[in-house]
Structure 1
């Protein structure tokens, strides 16, 4: 039996590296720079991001136990208008950051990461206003085969 995505990636240290690398790529992107330059308003942003991705991809429920629900996260990121191009850029930065962070280059693993992020961006962009987000959404789980229902 193969390990889950979190374990295959290398556990918590891998997701910390991924969050740092992704943030750096977003800051370097001329369109993503503005929203990501405000992360200093929350000095724990990278820790939260790493914990979130780790939990989604099979790691321990650190994000949901310490920081909140999927609904709260969706509300925080809603109400920003049409961000379709930013979403594409975000995915591109995520894919490149996996290289920067030294995550395994296994093609099936990389496909699962990309598929997750495309799904996640679509999910986040599907709530244009905070009032559109349903309450009670829990942190999603993603496996080698996609969204775990």
Structure 2
């Protein structure tokens, strides 16, 4: 008889909250030294790194620190409104985050990296789309995204 295996969340597989805190701390050091991204982030709050770490950790199956005490998916989207982000900025953000993930030796198995990269691609592309808007049509209680090992189904819906 086959054993029931408990599949860890992406959050657990990555190393838990200590890894997410270190990832986004080191990542934002790189962002502030980047010619393209520095201007976008030079005025970020002291808590920005922590909020992003908590948000991404929660989306990937971690504790609900962000949604229970720091914000919501609506709040995250609202932060991107009217920023007019470019593909060059999005790609730079992605490149620096993936470089930092490699430096910190986040798991590099194909399954984890595929799911991790898929979330980052999805999230940054949504951020670019939302950055072109001046106001949100979404309800304030919209649910937090939940990202796991699988793949999303169906085409993009605007």
Q: Does the TM-score normalized on the shorter chain lie above 0.5?
A: yes
Residue 136 of structure 2: aligned partner:
132
Q: How many residues align?
A: 146
Alignment of 1:29 onto 2:34:
yes
Unaligned runs of 5+ in 2: 1-5, 154-158
What secondary structure does 1:143 align onto?
coil
- Write out per-residue CA displacement over residues 59-111 of structure 1, whole angstroms, 9 at most, x where no aligned residue: 01110001111111111111012422111111111111111233112222112
Runs of 4+ in 1 over 3 A off after TM superposition: none
What secondary structure does 2:42 align onto?
helix
Residue 15 of structure 2: aligned partner:
10
> Whole-Å Cα distance in 1 between the matches of residues 137 and 121 of structure 2?
19
- For the pair shown, which has the larger CA radius of gyration, 1 or 2? 2
**TM-align CA RMSD:** 1.7
Q: Hey, which of these two has a bigger chunk of helix by percent?
A: 1
Unaligned runs of 5+ in 1: none
What secondary structure does 1:109 align onto?
helix
Residue 117 of structure 1: aligned partner:
120
